[in-house]
């Protein structure tokens, strides 16, 4: 997504599109790596003058609060951020740590017993070994 489009996207969602926010959203959308705040800071600090970890954390919190990013607690010790807010699950590889997206069938959602509830978040994650790491193990 181009930066002008990201600027509009942030504005439409009630977020003032300052440069640091545009850069962080652009990173999440283009990398699709389910980054931690630490990863984002490490990758962008050379590119954005004066970027602090606090700014990264605050920006991510704002994105989550406004519903344009999800905070994933696949592991209890770290949050991963995803700009794809559509219905999907995550597979985390125990060896390489990579997180893969997979499609979720809508029927997996609890549509009967939670009729009168508002669902704000869901987490569906699986851990295992990805095909690349499995191959390395067998070699």
Q: Is residue 133 within the footprint of Zn ion (CB under 5 A)? A: yes
Give me the least distance between CB of 122 and Zn ion, in Å please. 12
Give me the least distance between CB of 127 and Zn ion, in Å please. 11
Rounded Cα distance between 40 and 55, Å, is 11
Decide: 25 and 35 in contact? Cβ < 8 Å: no
Give me the least distance between CB of 137 and Zn ion, in Å please. 10
Q: Is residue 69 within the footprint of Zn ion (CB under 5 A)? A: no
Q: Is residue 93 within the footprint of Zn ion (CB under 5 A)? A: yes
Q: Which of 17, 82, 83, 92 binds Zn ion (CB under 5 A)?
A: 82
State how far Cα 95 lies from the chain centre.
Answer: 20
State how far Cα 22 lies from the chain centre.
Answer: 15
Stretch that binds Zn ion, among 8-16, 40-48, 117-125, 126-134 (CB under 5 A): 126-134
Stretch that binds Zn ion, among 1-9, 40-48, 56-64, 83-91 (CB under 5 A): 83-91
Quick count: other Cβ atoms within 10 Å of Cβ 57? 15
Residues 6+ apart with CB under 8 A from 113: none
Residues 6+ apart with CB under 8 A from 55: 20
Q: What residues make contact with Zn ion under the rule CB under 5 A? A: 82, 84, 93, 95-96, 101, 130, 133
């Amino acid at each position: 997504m181009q930066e002008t489009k990201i600027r509009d996207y942030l504005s439409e969602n009630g977020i003032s599109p300052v440069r640091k926010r545009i850069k962080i959203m652009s990173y999440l959308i283009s990398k699709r790596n389910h980054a931690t705040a630490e990863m984002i800071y490490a990758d962008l600090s050379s590119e954005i003058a004066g970027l602090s970890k606090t700014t990264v954390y605050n920006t991510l919190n704002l994105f989550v609060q406004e519903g344009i990013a999800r905070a994933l607690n696949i592991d209890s010790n770290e949050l991963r951020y995803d700009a794809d807010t559509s219905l999907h699950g995550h597979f985390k590889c125990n060896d390489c740590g990579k997180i893969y997206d997979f499609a979720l069938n809508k029927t997996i959602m609890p549509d009967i017993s939670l009729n009168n509830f508002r669902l704000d978040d869901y987490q569906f994650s699986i851990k295992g070994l990805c095909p690349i790491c499995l191959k390395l193990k067998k070699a």
